[in-house]
A and B are shown apart, each in its own frame.
Chain A
Amino acid sequence: MKQLSHLQAFRTIAAAALLSLAAVGAKAEDTIKVGILHSLSGTMAISETTLKDTMLMLIDAQNNKGGLLGKKLEAVVVDPASNWPLFAEKARQLLTKDKVAAIFGCWTSVSRKSVLPVVEELNGLLFYPVQYEGEESSKNVFYTGAAPNQQAIPAVDYLMNDFGAERWVLAGTDYVYPRTTNKILEAYLKSKGVAEKDILINYTPFGHSDWQSIVAEIKKFGSAGKKTAVVSTVNGDANIPFYKELGNQGISAEAIPVVAFSVGEEELSGIDTKPLVGHLAAWNYFMSIDTTKNAEFIKQWHTFIKDTKRVTNDPMEAHYIGFNMWVKAVEKAGTTEPDAVQRAIIGVEYPNLTGGVAKMLPNHHITKPVFIGEIQDDGQFLTVWQTDKLIEGDAWSDYLPESKPIIADWTPPILCGNFNTKTKKCSGQNY
Chain B
Amino acid sequence: MNGHSFTNHKAGSVVIALVAAVTVLVPLCNAVFPDGSALHFSAYTVSLLGKYMTFALLGLTLDLVWGYCGILALGHGAFFALGGYAIGMYLMRQIGNRGVYGDPVLPDFMVFLNWKELPWYWLGFDQFWFASLMVLIVPGSLAFVFGWLAFRSRVTGVYLSIITQALTYALMLAFFRNEMGFGGNNGLTDFKSILGFTIQSEAVRLALLMISGLSLIGAFLLSRWIIKTKLGRVVTAVRDQESRVRFLGYRVEMFKLWLFVFAAMLAGLAGALYVPQVGIINPSEFSPLNSLEIVVWVALGGRGTLYGAIVGAVLVNYGKTVLTGLLPEIWLFTLGAAFVLVTMFLPRGLVGLLVRDGKES
Contact = CB atoms under 8 A, between A and B. Distances in A.
Are the chains A and B members of one assembly?
yes
Contacts of A135: 100, 112
Given A41-B331, A41-B332, A110-B187, A85 B112 contact: no
Contact of B44 (A84, A97, A420): A97
B189 A113 contact: yes
Contact of A427 (B98, B279, B284, B324): B98
A321 interface: no
Contact of A10 (B112, B332, B354): B354
Contacts of A40: 328-329
A22 B192 CA distance: 27
A97 to B, nearest CB: 6
Contacts of B185: 110, 174-176, 206
B8 to A, nearest CB: 11
A30 to B, nearest CB: 21
Given A79-B324, A113-B186, A428 B99 contact: yes
A83 B200 contact: no
Nearest to B42: A96
Contact of B278 (A88, A121, A179): A88
Contacts of A85: 278-280
Nearest to A113: B189
A22 B102 contact: no
A176 B112 CA distance: 10
Contacts of A206: 176, 185
A241 B290 CA distance: 26
A114 B183 CA distance: 13
B190 interface: yes
A430 B279 CA distance: 14
Contacts of A90: 324-325
Interface string A420-431: 100001011010
A110 B186 contact: yes
Interface string A250-287: 00000000000000000000000000000000000000
Contacts of B38: 24
A145 interface: no
B102 A428 contact: yes
B356 interface: yes
Interface residues of B, number: 56
B183 to A, nearest CB: 9
A84 to B, nearest CB: 6
Give the interface SS of chain B, mostly helix, strand, loop or mixed.
Answer: helix
Nearest to B183: A176
Given A7-B14, A84-B284, A113-B189, A21 B178 contact: no
B324 to A, nearest CB: 4
Contact of A81 (B43, B109, B282, B331): B331
B22 A18 contact: yes
Nearest to A17: B318
Contacts of A114: 189, 279-280
A64 B206 CA distance: 45
Interface string B257-283: 000000000000000000000111010
B173 A205 contact: yes
A86 interface: yes
Interface in A168-183: 174-176, 179-180, 183
Given A6-B354, A40-B329, A117-B200, A176 B48 contact: no
Interface string B79-108: 000000000000000000111111000000
A81 B47 contact: no
Contacts of B7: 3
Q: Size class of A's contact patch?
A: 35 or more
B98 A428 contact: yes
A199 interface: no
B355 interface: yes
A315 interface: no
Contact of A174 (B176, B321, B329): B176
A268 B177 CA distance: 28
B111 interface: yes
B181 interface: no
Given A88-B280, A113-B189, A114-B189, A7 B100 contact: no
Contact of A89 (B47, B173, B192, B353): B47
A403 interface: yes
B243 interface: no
Interface in B299-318: 318
B128 interface: no
Contact of A117 (B48, B111, B190, B355): B190
Interface string A87-121: 01110110011000000000001100110111001
Interface string A315-356: 000000000000000000000000000000000000000000
A78 interface: yes
B176 A205 contact: yes
Contacts of A192: none
A79 B325 contact: yes
Interface in A1-56: 2-3, 6-7, 9-11, 14, 17-18, 21-22, 24, 40-41
- Top-4 shortest CB links A-B: A79-B328, A175-B185, A85-B278, A40-B328
15 contacts: A3-B356, A10-B14, A11-B14, A24-B42, A41-B329, A79-B328, A84-B280, A89-B51, A109-B186, A110-B185, A116-B190, A135-B112, A402-B101, A403-B101, A427-B102
Given A7-B354, A97-B44, 7 more contacts: A7-B11, A11-B14, A11-B18, A21-B48, A113-B190, A175-B178, A175-B185
Interface of A: 2-3, 6-7, 9-11, 14, 17-18, 21-22, 24, 40-41, 77-81, 83-86, 88-90, 92-93, 96-97, 109-110, 113-114, 116-118, 121, 135-136, 174-176, 179-180, 183, 203, 205-206, 402-403, 418, 420, 425, 427-428, 430
